[in-house]
């Protein structure tokens, strides 16, 4: 993978994190349990940190990171999150599960790219974070079943 391909791939991950932040903004207020909502807010902040880190990595490589705005997929994801959230906590968690599953698949692929040291370390750390997010959401969905 050459530098431009890596920049483009990191930009896609960055955009996915932007879209996921918007999903959390739609879904988290619908969570009735205060402790769970607080944890989900922490996950949203984690994605915001990923955005900052990916922005720095792209800039360091000489690329131009995308703007902090939803793309077409982001609008769809946000819409699904809003609709599912209408049904309360369980619907909101299902919406976030979909967003985090998409994010986890992308990071699973990203860590296999064979990129240089610091970029690979960043991807592994962020993948670890999103796995924690998804595990927490799935665990809470099971508890609500």
Q: Tell me the CATH number at 13.
A: 1.20.1260.10
What is the C-alpha separation between 85 and 58, in angstroms, rounded? 34
* CB neighbours of residue 139 within 10 Å: 11
Residue span of the structural domain in which 98 resides: 3-144
What is the C-alpha separation between 94 and 83, in angstroms, rounded? 11
Q: What is the pLDDT of residue 84?
A: 46
What is the C-alpha separation between 95 and 111, in angstroms, rounded? 25
pLDDT band at 85 (very low <50, low <70, confident <90, very high): very low
Residue pLDDT, tens place only, 67-76: 765 444 444 4
Domain count for the chain, please give it.
Answer: 1
What is the C-alpha separation between 43 and 47, in angstroms, rounded? 6
pTM of the model: 0.86
Task: State residue 88 phi and psi, 5-degree precision.
Answer: 85, -155
């Amino acid at each position: 993978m050459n530098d431009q391909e890596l920049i483009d791939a990191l930009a896609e991950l960055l955009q996915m994190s932007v879209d996921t932040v918007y999903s959390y903004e739609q879904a988290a207020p619908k969570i009735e349990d205060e402790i769970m909502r607080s944890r989900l807010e922490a996950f949203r902040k984690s994605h915001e940190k990923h955005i900052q880190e990916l922005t720095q990595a792209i800039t360091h490589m000489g690329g131009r990171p995308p703007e902090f705005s939803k793309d077409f997929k982001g609008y769809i994801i946000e819409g699904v999150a809003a609709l599912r959230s209408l049904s309360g906590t369980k619907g909101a968690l299902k919406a976030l599960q979909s967003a985090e599953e998409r994010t986890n698949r992308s990071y699973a692929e990203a860590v296999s790219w064979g990129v240089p040291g610091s970029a690979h370390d960043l991807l592994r750390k962020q993948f670890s974070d999103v796995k924690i997010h998804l595990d927490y959401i799935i665990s809470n969905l099971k508890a609500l079943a």
